[in-house]
């Protein structure tokens, strides 16, 4: 450290002491070891330097209490390290005059956090939100992740939170995606292909509608209102807990574009498990597109209410539910590819319509539905490749579980559980494709729950039912332009198999004219007539190329399991 820097530190220490006395703690790991001084040319030396221009510290910085905090830059590795005085679970980045930017560091440098990254303050009462000027949108802190940036966390106790009123703008590109992962992955290189819980994951809290709270009026209409909606998000409890919810379904938490989240998820306590990304009351003003969650302990993405729309989503090796819907979520998910691990993974979609469903009377549940407070997601162009495993981390591999007053509209989907995983015990009774329960059965009968123009191939097509009028779930599907085949032996649904089942080329949908099921052509008409396919992605329009991890040669740790087991 230069003499000028020692002098500057001594002066800063005296200044702080003069402002209030007490102990002065300065975390030296957040002070650059480089001499960042610049000669202004007029005799003034900025930052107390030697008068000779030196390399600039590229680490993120911001001003708190008149003091500039900045990560420590290691020029040998190009990594930036952020100690607990920069940010921590109990030391969030609060309102600043400018955005806090985590740049694309040179030479594949990584932003390393020694604790959690928390953006904005958390508030637990309406009055506190009003006092802060943050009630239905906000003036909170903003962080920006530049295209190509990599962020890494130390352990499953460390995670990332964007609080209500604050925003994250993580805007990568197809050639420079943003990666949020673990130190074992990005720095040490010791992580296994399907390792999970290497760090916690991401929690985004918004002001969207959450049916755990009380509201008056009808959702989406002028008379709709709510108050005191402060649901506790997943993650650390007690003083470190964060909250979500409100009555603004159009709220914006920023943007996630071309973002890959890897090796995340953790069990915090019973019923409190961090996902790849938890969207708590996140509104439709938030942009989410070209997003991947790769190898996570719990769910890939989970929506607790809100109305955020998600397009071009990939979930790979998620051990619980790849897409989890709860508490009144009404957004749209368009073009989503789900690939479970060969030996692990539960549902492609698990969905609940009303939080606390079982504890509410039928009359209260009916009132929620009538006022639009139940989950009613729209899911288009989905491909699910589910594992026939009989007992993964959470439960056996399965397709869609729709329950507790969720009334989704699912169209142009391809749901395949018919790959035979070598040496993996399977259970046809649990490796089902479609399971509709509770109010969903009545909604299906009434036309409010829609599964249309979908191809389904599983060891067991349906579970539960029938509809109130006695119609079996499979008959309901057949009446809605859905085509299905029971594949008890776990046939390979590719052109390499026997010619009775050809749906996929790897994870690419075959054109409809080339699809075969039950030995004949697939007679399904897409609801989107401009596409000659159903499912998420085709070989001639591969939107997963260039930015995802784990799908393509040259950017993965291992081949996809069905590439190995297919004949």
Greater model confidence, 363 or 49? 363
Q: What is the pLDDT of residues 102-134, one digit of tens each?
A: 999 999 999 999 999 999 999 999 999 998 888
Confidence band (pLDDT; 50, 70, 90) for 356? Answer: very high
Q: Is the pLDDT score of 26 beyond 70?
A: no
Task: Return the minimum-mean-pLDDT range out of 492-496, 504-508, 511-515.
Answer: 492-496
pLDDT value at residue 428: 63
Q: Is the pLDDT score of 199 beyond 80?
A: yes
Which whole number is the average pLDDT over 235-251? 93
Greater model confidence, 495 or 33? 495
Q: Is the pLDDT score of 439 beyond 60?
A: yes
Greater model confidence, 556 or 56? 556
Instruction: Provide the b/e sequence for 156-180 (b: ≥16 CB within 10 Å).
Output: bebbbbbbbbbbbbbbbeeeebbbb
Q: Is the pLDDT score of 33 beyond 60?
A: no
Task: Give 25's contacts (C-beta < 8 A, 6+ positions apart).
Answer: 85
- Please report the sign of the dihedral spanned by the C-alpha atoms of residue 51, residue 53, residue 57, residue 58: positive
pLDDT value at residue 524: 93
Specify the DSSP class assigned to residue 535.
S
Task: Return the minimum-mean-pLDDT range out of 118-122, 342-346, 391-395.
Answer: 391-395
Between CA 169 and CA 276 the distance in angstroms is 17
Q: Do the Cβ atoms of 322 and 348 come closer than 8 Å?
A: yes
Give this prediction's pTM.
Answer: 0.90
Q: Is the pLDDT score of 28 beyond 80?
A: no
Q: Which two tokens stand for residue 379?
A: 């899911």
Q: Is the pLDDT score of 29 beyond 50?
A: no
Which whole number is the average pLDDT over 18-30? 34
pLDDT value at residue 260: 98
Q: CA separation (Å) from 257 to 292, 334, 548?
A: 10, 14, 12
Between CA 567 and CA 565 the distance in angstroms is 6
Between CA 361 and CA 189 the distance in angstroms is 52
Q: What is the pLDDT of residues 470-493, one digit of tens each?
A: 999 999 999 999 999 988 777 889
**Tokens 């003499």 appear where?**
3
HSE-CB of 341 using CA atoms within 13 angstroms = 27
Between CA 268 and CA 203 the distance in angstroms is 13
pLDDT value at residue 555: 96
Task: Return the minimum-mean-pLDDT range out of 29-33, 37-41, 357-361, 378-382.
Answer: 37-41
Q: Is the pLDDT score of 4 beyond 50?
A: no
Q: What is the pLDDT of residues 314-334, one digit of tens each?
A: 999 999 999 999 999 999 999
Write out the H or E segment, with its range, that includes residue 444: helix 439-446
Between CA 297 and CA 45 the distance in angstroms is 51
pLDDT value at residue 324: 98
Most confident option among 20-34, 419-433, 505-519? 505-519
Q: Do the Cβ atoms of 544 and 537 come closer than 8 Å?
A: yes
The proportion of the chain whose per-residue pLDDT surpasses 90, expressed as a percent, equals 75
Q: CA separation (Å) from 460 to 180, 418, 531?
A: 37, 9, 28
Confidence band (pLDDT; 50, 70, 90) for 170? Answer: very high
pLDDT value at residue 421: 60
Q: Smallest Cα–Cα separation from 493: which of 456, 540, 531, 452?
A: 456
Task: Give 218's contacts (C-beta < 8 A, 6+ positions apart).
Answer: 224, 371, 372
pLDDT value at residue 272: 78
Q: Is the pLDDT score of 24 beyond 70?
A: no
Q: Do the Cβ atoms of 331 and 376 come closer than 8 Å?
A: no
Between CA 364 and CA 217 the distance in angstroms is 14
Q: Is the pLDDT score of 12 beyond 70?
A: no
Number of neighbouring beta carbons within 10 Å of residue 332: 15
Q: Is the pLDDT score of 376 beyond 50?
A: yes
Beta strands 455-458 and 414-416 are: parallel
Q: Is the pLDDT score of 183 beyond 80?
A: yes
pLDDT value at residue 391: 79
Q: Smallest Cα–Cα separation from 318: which of 420, 392, 249, 245?
A: 392
Residue 362 exposed, middle or buried by CB count within 10 Å (0-12, 13-18, 19+): exposed
pLDDT value at residue 559: 95
Between CA 241 and CA 202 the distance in angstroms is 14
Helix (H, G, I), strand (E, B) or coil at 29: helix
Q: What is the pLDDT of residues 130-164, one digit of tens each?
A: 988 887 777 789 999 999 999 999 999 999 999 99
Between CA 509 and CA 559 the distance in angstroms is 18
Q: CA gyration radius for the chain?
A: 25
Q: Smallest Cα–Cα separation from 347: which of 271, 434, 273?
A: 434
Between CA 134 and CA 387 the distance in angstroms is 44
Q: Which two tokens stand for residue 250?
A: 């159009």
Q: What is the pLDDT of residues 59-91, one digit of tens each?
A: 999 998 889 999 999 999 999 999 999 999 999
pLDDT value at residue 424: 66
Between CA 327 and CA 329 the distance in angstroms is 6
Q: Which two tokens stand for residue 60?
A: 């993120």
Confidence band (pLDDT; 50, 70, 90) for 305? Answer: very high
Task: Return the minimum-mean-pLDDT range out of 31-40, 178-187, 412-421.
Answer: 31-40
Strand partners, 291: 259, 313
The proportion of the chain whose per-residue pLDDT surpasses 70, expressed as a percent, equals 88
Q: Smallest Cα–Cα separation from 404: which of 334, 328, 345, 462?
A: 328
**CA angle 498–503–505, rounded 5-degree value:** 90
Q: In the chain, helix, strand, coil percent, each to 5?
A: 10, 30, 55
Q: Which two tokens stand for residue 82?
A: 């952020």
Annotated domain spans of the chain: 1-57, 80-318, 353-567
**Tokens 């001499």 appear where?**
35
């Amino acid at each position: 450290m230069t003499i000028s820097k020692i002098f500057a530190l001594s002066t800063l220490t005296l200044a702080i002491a003069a402002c209030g006395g007490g102990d002065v703690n300065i975390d030296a790991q957040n002070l650059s070891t480089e001499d960042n001084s610049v000669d202004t040319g007029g005799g003034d030396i900025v930052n107390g330097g030697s008068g000779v221009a030196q390399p600039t510290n590229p680490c993120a910085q911001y001003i708190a209490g008149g003091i500039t905090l900045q990560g420590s830059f290691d020029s040998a590795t190009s990594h930036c390290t952020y100690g607990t005085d920069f940010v921590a679970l109990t030391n969030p980045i609060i309102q600043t005059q400018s955005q806090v930017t985590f740049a694309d560091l040179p030479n594949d440098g990584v932003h390393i956090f020694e604790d959690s990254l928390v953006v904005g303050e958390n508030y637990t009462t309406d009055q506190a939100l009003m006092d802060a000027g943050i009630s239905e949108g906000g003036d909170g802190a903003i962080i920006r992740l530049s295209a190509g940036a990599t962020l890494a966390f130390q352990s499953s106790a460390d995670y990332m939170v964007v609080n209500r009123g604050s925003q994250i703008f993580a805007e990568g590109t197809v050639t420079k995606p943003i990666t949020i992962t673990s130190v074992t992955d990005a720095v040490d290189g010791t992580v296994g292909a399907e390792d999970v819980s290497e760090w916690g994951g991401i929690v985004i809290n918004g002001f969207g509608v959450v049916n755990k709270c009380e509201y008056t009026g009808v959702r989406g209409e002028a008379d709709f209102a709510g108050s005191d909606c402060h649901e506790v998000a997943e993650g650390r409890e007690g003083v470190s807990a964060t909250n979500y919810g409100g009555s603004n379904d159009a709220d914006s938490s920023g943007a996630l574009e071309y973002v890959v989240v890897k090796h995340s998820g953790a069990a915090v306590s019973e019923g409190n498990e961090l996902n790849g990304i938890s969207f708590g009351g996140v509104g439709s003003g938030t942009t989410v597109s070209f997003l991947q969650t790769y190898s996570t302990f719990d769910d890939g993405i989970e929506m607790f209410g809100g109305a955020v729309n998600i397009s071009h989503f990939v979930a790979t090796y998620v051990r619980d539910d790849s897409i989890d819907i709860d508490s009144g979520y009404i957004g749209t998910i368009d073009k989503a590819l789900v690939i479970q691990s060969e030996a692990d993974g539960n549902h492609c979609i698990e969905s609940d319509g009303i939080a606390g469903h079982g504890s509410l009377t039928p009359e209260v549940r009916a009132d929620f539905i009538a006022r639009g407070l139940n989950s009613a997601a729209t899911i288009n162009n989905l491909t699910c490749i589910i594992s026939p495993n009989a007992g993964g981390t959470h439960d056996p591999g399965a397709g869609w579980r729709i329950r507790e007053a969720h009334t989704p509209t699912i169209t142009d989907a391809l749901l395949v559980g018919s790959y035979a995983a070598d040496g993996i015990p399977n259970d046809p009774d649990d490796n089902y494709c479609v399971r509709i329960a509770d109010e969903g059965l009545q909604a299906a009968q009434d036309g409010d729950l829609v599964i249309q123009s979908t191809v389904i191939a599983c060891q067991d097509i349906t579970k539960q039912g029938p509809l109130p009028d006695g119609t079996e779930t499979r008959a309901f599907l057949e009446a809605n332009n859905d085509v299905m085949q029971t594949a008890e032996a776990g046939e390979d649904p590719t052109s390499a198999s026997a010619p009775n089942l050809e749906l996929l080329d790897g994870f690419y949908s075959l054109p409809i004219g080339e699809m075969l099921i039950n030995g004949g052509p697939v007679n399904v008409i897409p609801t989107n007539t401009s596409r000659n396919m159903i499912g998420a992605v085709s070989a001639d329009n591969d939107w997963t190329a260039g930015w995802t991890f784990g799908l393509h040669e040259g950017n993965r740790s291992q081949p996809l399991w069905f590439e190995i087991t297919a004949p």
